[in-house]
């Protein structure tokens, strides 16, 4: 009862869970958008079943959506949850271990009949909800019956009516947390504008859920969370893949280039294609190729022709693109490759997150083929990382790899709109016809060659996968020339360190530095705050630039007695750091398809200090 009696909270973590057909992701996402509009800070983590058509009613078929929101700054989707919305018995079983003591369980009674109990494997309890009343507050809603009652006058079939039951739950949650219905009503009207009867049914059920809360107000006390005090600006709720897409479009506009995106669908990167396809008004061209190799080579052709070429995939697709990426590096053309990482190897865990492709980004091509590598740290960071990757690719004439992951790709948080004036300029380096013959591999002081557009008189040149002669670009098999070209390509990438920011640690020196990259940022940040409250002198530094490293990384590392590197892999950045800087960095590794909890990082940090 403690949760509902204490109706004013600083922050709350909710898990929405049910079958894939229960509309869990839509419910969670709409609650997130409405909560962001209300002014709360938030972070989300959608959790999809591994199978496209997972068995209904089973634990393996549970779809989940976790949101942590509050009146204070939020960095992670939260640890243990305060509220569980369980649409069936399997959802309860899967998520019970993720609840705090005395949490609130809102359960759809229709999902706890004998059939659902059997499918979920509840063999020890005839009534698992009654059993949980000793540990949590349980609100039982007969969502199916209440939905059908609300739609008793509808001409929709019973199956179609039942599809809107997630809206009843959402309406009740809106009432419980003092949220408005208007945003979701507009969303439903737009989503089903070609089928107004379905739209009206969903809105009717949404209102019915809200009204149910009002009519039973004496039984349940509402939870009040004030808006967060965020820096002034215009905000919107943004998902990681959407942030990447907008960053790419902004870079194309700022550089004056048209954007060409060639891809082949793969989880969890496919949404980037969907988002970019909506921006044809900005000159964006999207191409769904027949396979990963065709996607990558189409982008090389676009970049050769003067467009900003982009492709994206996940680890298996990046493996197929490897030869084409090596070709783009040999041609020294601007191109951005996005790897939205997932569990591997091979097909692995398509719907689960991982950070296991850092070595692939660094070394996953034949020959000496170094690329600049950047990592996204959060959904809101996606925009600026994509923008910077494009800037580096264009100004240094090189393919650039961006590492995101499934957690960031599908997660959401408030994002403050940048102003156009705040975006750094992106300068193209197009060759112009001159009297003497054009030399495709003549370089400037930074080792960067010019970008010659085919079809321009006087700029005729040859590009290809065979090694080229320095300056002239003629095919060359000469040994000394090959070594020169290899070293020049590597030096150009290394030189990018002079154009990226120095690494900042939040304290200059201490007992322990927790060094991270990618989506571990939020969990590390929360862990740092807890450790400091216990008197541990610990600092945080987070890497966006993984190749080249910031110029001062070695200096930052040297000022701490110990270095801990949490990664969702078996230890990749830790090997790079130990090899380059000869420091005794320790790895904290998690390979479970799930993000780190702050508690896990706190425990890992304390273990290092006790050693």
Q: What is the pLDDT of residue 448?
A: 97
Q: Read off the tokens for 477.
A: 């098999």
Spatial distance between the Cα atoms of 303 and 300, rounded to a whole number of angstroms: 5
* Per-residue model confidence (pLDDT) at position 5: 46
| The pLDDT value given to residue 51 | 74
Q: Among residues of the chain, what percentage have pLDDT more than 90?
A: 89
- Would you say how long the chain is, in residues? 611
How confident is the model over 568-580, as pLDDT tens digits? Answer: 999 999 999 999 9
What lies within 8 Å, CB to CB, of 282 at 6+ separation is 249, 252, 253, 259
**Cα distances (Å, whole numbers) of residue 46 to 80, 268, 431, 567:** 15, 12, 47, 20
The CA-based dihedral angle spanning residues 14, 20, 354, 339, taken in that order and rounded to the nearest 10 degrees: -120
CA-nearest of 199, 202, 181 to 190 is 199
What is the structure's pLDDT at 433? 86
Task: Tell me what the mean pLDDT of segment 162-179 comes to.
Answer: 95
Per-residue pLDDT reduced to its tens digit, 86-144: 999 999 999 999 999 999 999 999 999 999 999 988 766 678 999 999 999 999 999 99
Q: What are 179-214's pLDDT values in tens digits? A: 999 999 999 999 999 999 999 999 999 999 999 999
Give 3's pLDDT tier (boundaries 50, 70, 90): very low
Q: Which two tokens stand for residue 323?
A: 């030869």
Residue 611: CB atoms within 10 A of its CB come to: 7
pLDDT band at 2 (very low <50, low <70, confident <90, very high): very low
pTM of the model: 0.94
Whole-number Å distance between alpha carbons of 255 and 566: 36
CA distance 519 to 573: 14
- Residue for token digits 């530094």? 541
> Is the pLDDT higher at 216 or at 486?
486
Q: What is the pLDDT of residues 297-351, one digit of tens each?
A: 999 999 999 999 999 999 999 999 999 999 999 999 999 999 999 999 999 999 9
User: Which pLDDT value is given to residue 40?
Assistant: 95
- Domains in the chain: ranges and CATH: 2-215 (3.40.920.10), 236-422 (3.40.50.970), 429-499 (no CATH), 510-610 (3.40.50.920)
Q: Is 301 helix (H, G, I), strand (E, B) or coil?
A: helix
Distance (Å, whole) CA 57 – CA 324:
44
Q: CA 20 → CA 24, 510, 579, distances in Å?
A: 7, 47, 45
At 121 the pLDDT is: 85
Q: Please give the pLDDT value at position 125.
A: 61
38/487 Cα distance (integer angstroms): 54
Residue 344, phi then psi, degrees to nearest 5: -135, -165
**For range 425-429, the mean pLDDT:** 96
Q: What percent of the chain has pLDDT over 70?
A: 98
- What is the Cα–Cα distance from 565 to 560, expressed in whole angstroms? 13
Q: Is the pLDDT of residue 1 over 90?
A: no
Across the beta sheet with 308-313, the strand order is 284-288, 259-263, 308-313, 335-341, 399-405, 373-375, 545-547
Average pLDDT rounded to a whole number, residues 212-226: 84
Which residues 6+ apart lie within 8 Å of 610 measured at CB? none
| 445: exposed, middle or buried (Cβ count in 10 Å: 0-12, 13-18, 19+) | exposed
Burial, 242: exposed, middle or buried (Cβ in 10 Å; 0-12, 13-18, 19+)? buried
Quote the CA–CA distance of 524 and 601 in Å, as a whole number.
7
Mean model confidence pLDDT for the chain: 94
At residue 234, the pLDDT reads 87
Is residue 461 helix, strand or coil? coil
Q: How many CB atoms lie within 10 A of CB 418?
A: 16
Q: How far apart are CA 573 and CA 546, in angstroms?
A: 9
CB 585 within 8 Å of CB 574: yes
Nearest C-alpha neighbor of 567 from the set 345, 355, 378: 355
Q: Are 592 and 600 in contact (CB under 8 A)?
A: no
DSSP 84-132: EEESSHHHHHHHGGGEEEEEEEEEEGGGGSHHHHHHHT--S-S-HHHHH
């Amino acid at each position: 009862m403690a949760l509902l009696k204490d109706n004013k909270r600083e922050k709350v973590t909710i898990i929405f869970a049910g079958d894939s057909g229960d509309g869990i992701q839509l419910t969670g996402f709409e609650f997130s958008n409405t909560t962001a509009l209300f002014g709360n800070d938030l972070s989300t983590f959608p959790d999809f079943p591994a199978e496209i058509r997972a068995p209904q009613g089973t634990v393996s078929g549970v779809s989940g959506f976790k949101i942590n929101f509050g009146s204070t700054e939020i960095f992670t989707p939260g640890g243990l949850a305060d509220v569980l919305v369980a649409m069936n018995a399997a959802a309860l079983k899967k998520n019970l271990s993720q609840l705090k003591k005395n949490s609130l369980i809102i359960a759809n009674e229709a999902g706890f009949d004998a059939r659902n109990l059997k499918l979920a494997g509840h063999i020890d309890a005839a009534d698992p909800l009654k059993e949980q009343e000793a540990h949590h507050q349980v609100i039982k809603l007969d969502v199916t019956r209440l939905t059908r009652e609300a739609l008793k006058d509808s001409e929709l079939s019973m199956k179609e009516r039942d599809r809107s039951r997630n809206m009843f739950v959402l309406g009740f949650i809106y009432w419980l947390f003092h949220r408005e219905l208007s945003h979701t009503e507009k969303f439903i009207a737009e989503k089903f504008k070609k089928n107004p009867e379905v739209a009206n049914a969903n809105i009717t059920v949404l209102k019915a859920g809200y009204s149910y809360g009002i009519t039973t107000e004496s039984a349940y006390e509402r939870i009040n969370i004030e808006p967060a005090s965020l820096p002034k600006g215009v905000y919107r709720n943004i998902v990681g893949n959407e942030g990447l897409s907008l960053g790419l479009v902004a870079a194309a506009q700022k550089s004056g280039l048209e954007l060409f995106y060639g891809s082949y669908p793969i989880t969890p990167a496919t949404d980037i294609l969907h988002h970019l396809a909506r921006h044809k008004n900005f000159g964006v061209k999207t191409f769904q190729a027949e396979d990963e190799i065709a996607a990558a080579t189409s982008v090389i052709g676009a970049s050769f022709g003067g467009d900003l070429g982009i492709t994206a995939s996940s680890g298996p697709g990046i493996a197929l693109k490897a030869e084409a990426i090596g070709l783009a590096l040999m041609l020294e053309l601007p191109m951005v490759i996005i790897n939205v990482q997932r569990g591997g190897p091979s097909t692995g865990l398509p719907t689960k997150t991982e950070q296991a492709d850092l070595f692939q980004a660094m070394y996953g091509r034949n020959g000496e083929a170094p690329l600049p590598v950047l990592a996204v740290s959060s959904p809101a960071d996606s925009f600026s990382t994509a923008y910077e990757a494009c800037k580096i690719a264009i100004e240094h004439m090189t393919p650039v790899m961006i590492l995101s992951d499934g957690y960031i790709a599908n997660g959401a948080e408030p994002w403050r709109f940048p102003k156009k004036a705040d975006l750094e300029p992106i300068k193209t380096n197009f060759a112009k016809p001159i009297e003497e013959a054009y030399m495709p591999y003549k370089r400037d002081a930074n080792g960067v060659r010019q970008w010659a557009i085919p079809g321009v008189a006087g700029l005729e040149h040859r590009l290809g996968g065979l090694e080229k002669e320095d300056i002239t670009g003629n095919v060359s098999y000469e040994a000394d020339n090959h070594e020169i070209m290899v070293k020049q390509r590597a030096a150009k990438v290394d030189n990018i360190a002079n154009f990226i920011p120095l690494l900042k640690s939040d304290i200059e020196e201490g007992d322990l530095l927790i060094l991270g990259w990618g989506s571990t940022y939020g969990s590390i940040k929360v862990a740092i705050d807890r450790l400091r409250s216990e008197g541990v002198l610990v600092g945080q530094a987070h890497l966006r630039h993984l190749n080249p490293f910031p110029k001062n990384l070695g200096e930052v590392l040297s000022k701490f007695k110990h270095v801990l590197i949490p990664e969702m892999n078996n230890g990749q950045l830790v090997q790079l750091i130990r090899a380059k800087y000869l420091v005794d960095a320790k790895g904290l590794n998690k390979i479970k398809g799930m993000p780190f909890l702050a508690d896990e990082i706190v425990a890992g940090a304390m273990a290092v200090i006790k050693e």
